[in-house]
Amino acid sequence: MVGCALAREFSKYELKTVLLEKESDVCCGVSKANSGVLHTGLYYKKGSLKARLCVEGRLMYKRLVKELDVPCTLCGKHVVARTEDEIKDLERLRDVGEANGVRGLTIISRELAKKREPNVDSLGALYSPVAGIVSPYLFTIALAENASSNGVNVYLNTKVTGIKQVNEGFRVTTTQGDFTADIVINSAGLYADRIASMVGIDQYRLYPSRGEYLVLDKDSRDLIGGMVYPVPPKVAGYLGIHLTPTIDGNLLIGPSSEFIDVLEDTRTTEERILELMTEAKDLLPNISLKAVIYAFSGVRSKITPPNEKEARDFIIQEDLVDFINLIGIESPGLTSSPAIAKFVVQLVKEKRDIRRKKDFSPIERKTVRFNETSREKQSSLVNEDPAYGEMVCRCEHVTKREVLDALNNPFGVKTIAAVKYRTRAGMGRCHGGFCLPKIVEILEKEYGMAAEEMTLKNTDSPLFIGRTKDLRKKGV
């Protein structure tokens, strides 16, 4: 997300900008697996980059989500106290928030909290009215596609293997060839420390911390009105397992927090699943675990070592001339991302005279989300284009036209995941039971893909080993 926000921000200037991504699509790493929450700035030390960029970033969202046609809503948040001591913690949070310029924070009584969130038991709560939720992947993809529309070349499946300082700037060696750049911005998330050390910047070390989530059926959405958070546990930078409605109408439980050894170990575990279920029931006794439809996890890029009590700040600095590092961009990374992008551009501007483009086009219009339009509009869409009339995803009501548009994305990504994150097909309660064979048929008939070419998320995740008769035919 940060990388795509940066790409879009730089695309406003007369600069040749490229975005290098090692995965098969944008938004495959940290950005894909998070709560989708727009924070207001309750948790961060006054004067820190986190505090400043979170507050700035959140204010930028209103316009951005309109320009990029990304769903977003301010559903509000209650941080609930379940012990008397926690009421004091609420007051502390409110004070921190107010010092950071957050408005509207109120501590409410047990009775009022019960009225607002009838299914939650608490002794009182801190209400934050302007906390919001957004779709993290739609936002990231829209940023990338808008950057691309404005001239940024997005190179996928392009892993950086080395960076060398040369006369002309930096020679960046990748699995898809070399690039020579005047300026390098390192927003490599979990790998940012490794990228930095490629040019001799060795002082950074990241500690991957996995967070697991449970996704509940849309039927459970109405159990809460807005977000419900516990008082943050006394663990550096960790906000605790919370309940978040998603912008699409599901309910998320999570994330957990656990330091791990292997960087991209995005497994879900028995222990954490149990922990999430227990914590959720503690906050929301009416929650039914039968409503769980999916579990996923993501890995945070943490700069704070496990034994430190207080969370360290974002590191966004030019450690080497024209080489800007973004290290440890975890929560509130999502909220801060547009502000981070502006901040980095400002760093560049301080040294170079870069001009704004006259023809930057901020608007990126997506395919109409059929399921979210009125019946009248749906009718006219189908009349114009019969592909809107054929349902591919029965749970989320995603049409063939939306699936085709997703596959026709500007990056040429034709994986099942590319369709899933752009359209929601496969995210419903049956998790691909109806849509997978249909999407496979579309890949075959509309794009002429061979069986072996169809993948879940990248070339190492083929769906099939071939055609049905292949294992029996002679010579196989």
How far is 137 from 423, CA to CA, in rounded Å?
10
**466 near another protein, judged by CB under 8 A:** yes
Which residue stretch of 135-143, 185-193, 319-327, 385-393 sits at the interface with another protein (rule: CB under 8 A)? 385-393
Toward another protein, which CB reaches closer, 271 or 282? 271
Phi, psi angle pair for 125, to nearest 5°: -150, 160
Nearest partner of 229 among 299, 125, 130, 310, judged by Cα: 125
One residue of 13, 296, 360, 411 binding another protein per CB under 8 A: 296
Catalytic residue among 39, 78, 397, 431: 39
Residue 460 as a binder of another protein (CB under 8 A): the answer is yes
Please report the sign of the dihedral spanned by the C-alpha atoms of residue 165, residue 167, residue 173, residue 179: positive
Is 286 a binder of another protein (CB under 8 A)? no
Is there binding between residue 264 and another protein (CB under 8 A)? yes
Nearer Cβ to another protein, position 24 or 187?
A: 24
Per CB under 8 A, the segment of 76-84, 151-159, 180-188, 394-402 that binds another protein is 394-402
To another protein, the closest distance from the beta carbon of 473 in angstroms equals 5
Strands of 77-120, DSSP E = 77-81, 106-109
Would you state the structure tokens that stand for residue 387, as one six-digit string?
């592909």
- The DSSP letter of residue 189 is G
Among 397, 405, 411, 453, the residue binding another protein under the rule CB under 8 A is 397
Instruction: Enter the tokens of residue 212.
Output: 């697991």
Distance CA 52, CA 206 (A): 22
| Residue that has been written with the tokens 């944008």 in this structure | 26
Parallel, antiparallel or unpaired: strands 18-20 and 153-155: parallel
Q: Closer CB to another protein, residue 356 or residue 445?
A: 445
Q: How far is CA 182 from CA 10, 16, 88, 151, 262, in A?
A: 14, 10, 51, 17, 33
Q: Which is nearer to another protein, 356 or 474 (CB)?
A: 474
Beta bridge partners of 207: 302
Q: Which candidate, 146, 143, 76, 85, places its Cα nearest to that of 113?
A: 76
350 binds another protein (CB under 8 A): no
Interface positions, 199-238, toward another protein (CB under 8 A): 214-215
Residue 176 corresponds to which amino acid? Q
288 binds another protein (CB under 8 A): no
- CA separation (Å) from 70 to 132, 216, 341, 391? 13, 22, 18, 22
- By CB under 8 A, is residue 281 in contact with another protein? no
Pairing assessment for the beta strands 72-73 and 132-134 based on DSSP bridges? antiparallel
* Sole window of 115-123, 186-194, 199-207, 449-457 interacting with another protein (rule: CB under 8 A): 449-457
For position 4 contacting another protein by CB under 8 A, the verdict is no
Examine residue 386 and tell whether it contacts another protein (CB under 8 A).
Answer: yes
- Indicate the Cα dihedral angle 216, 218, 219, 224, nearest 10°: 80
**462 lies in the site for another protein, by CB under 8 A:** yes
Site string (401-440) toward another protein, x via CB under 8 A: ----------------------------xxxxxx-xx--x
Nearer to another protein (CB atom), residue 45 or residue 431:
431
User: Is 397 an annotated catalytic residue?
Assistant: no
Residues that bind another protein (CB under 8 A): 214-215, 264, 266-270, 273, 292-296, 374-376, 378-379, 382-383, 386-391, 394-395, 397, 399, 429-434, 436-437, 440-441, 444, 451, 454-458, 460-474
Active site residue ranges: 39
